[in-house]
Amino acid sequence: MTYTADSPLFGTPKASVDQCARFMSSRAHGEYTEHDLRNVLVPAYYRVCGEVGLDSTLVISQLIHETGNLSSWWSQRPRRNPAGIGVTGQKQPAKPAAGAWVWNDQTQLWHEGVAFPAWDNDAIPAHIGRLMAYAMRDDQASTPQRELIARALSYRPLRRYRGEAPTLRGLNGRWAVPGTTYADRLSHTANAIAAT
């Protein structure tokens, strides 16, 4: 069975940890080593997704898409942002009094977006919990799912779209704007991972 834009976000992954790690390590992956991919990042995604029922292959395909396979500035240490969480494109010379902002030495500007202290304890749970918030409302969630969603939304609130994206297609125009082909791109990447 292959992934499509209508694939549900919840389900059993169609690729293994090894397939995901091989797929990612075969492409440019920023400062992250093969050890990081095989022993830290991919296993942590599979562990947390498994605890709450999300399809880890789809979540990792979103990580790959959003970060250019961990090559983006936002995904590098010390930011570790796995999916453009809070990244708006806004920049300014003075640090704003509120919100999540990160200093960029290259541009000499503050950039709006969330930075995470660690992958396994912060960034990965924030990514998975946020994706679950798009996929379900609290009244549809189990206790562990609600707890992970609440933790994720403590980094960056989600004011709308709760429960509106139980499938990849539901992310079109919501996670990605305008994002008309977002679900197709994620399903294409997930299928490529599963074929590895």
Tens digits of pLDDT across the chain (196 residues):
699 999 999 999 999 999 999 999 999 999 999 999 999 999 999 999 999 999 999 999 999 999 999 999 999 999 999 999 999 999 999 999 999 999 999 999 999 999 999 999 999 999 999 999 999 999 999 999 999 999 999 999 998 999 999 999 999 999 988 889 999 999 999 999 999 9
CA distance 67 to 55: 19
3-state secondary structure of 127: helix
CA distance 194 to 23: 9
- For the CA atoms of 71, 77, 83, 88, the dihedral, rounded to the nearest 10 degrees, stands at -100
Q: Which CATH fold would you assign to the domain 17-79+118-194?
A: Lysozyme (1.10.530)
Please give the structure tokens belonging to residue 150.
């609440």
CA distance 148 to 98: 24
Q: Phi first, then psi: give them for residue 193, nearest 5 degrees.
A: -65, -45
CA nearest 75: which of 15, 31, 14?
31
pLDDT of residue 178: 85
Q: Are 114 and 100 in contact (CB under 8 A)?
A: yes
CA distance 49 to 90: 31
Give first-to-last CA distance, the chain, whole Å.
15
Q: Are 45 and 109 in contact (CB under 8 A)?
A: no
Length of the chain equals 196
Q: Are 154 and 130 in contact (CB under 8 A)?
A: no
What is the residue type of 65?
H
Tell me the whole-structure pTM to 2 decimals. Answer: 0.96
Q: Could you tell me which residues come within 8 angstroms of residue 59 by beta carbon, excluding any fewer than 6 positions away? A: 9, 45, 49, 127, 128, 131
Domain boundaries, the chain: 17-79+118-194
pLDDT of residue 1: 65
- In the numeric block, the tokens 């961990």 are attached to 70
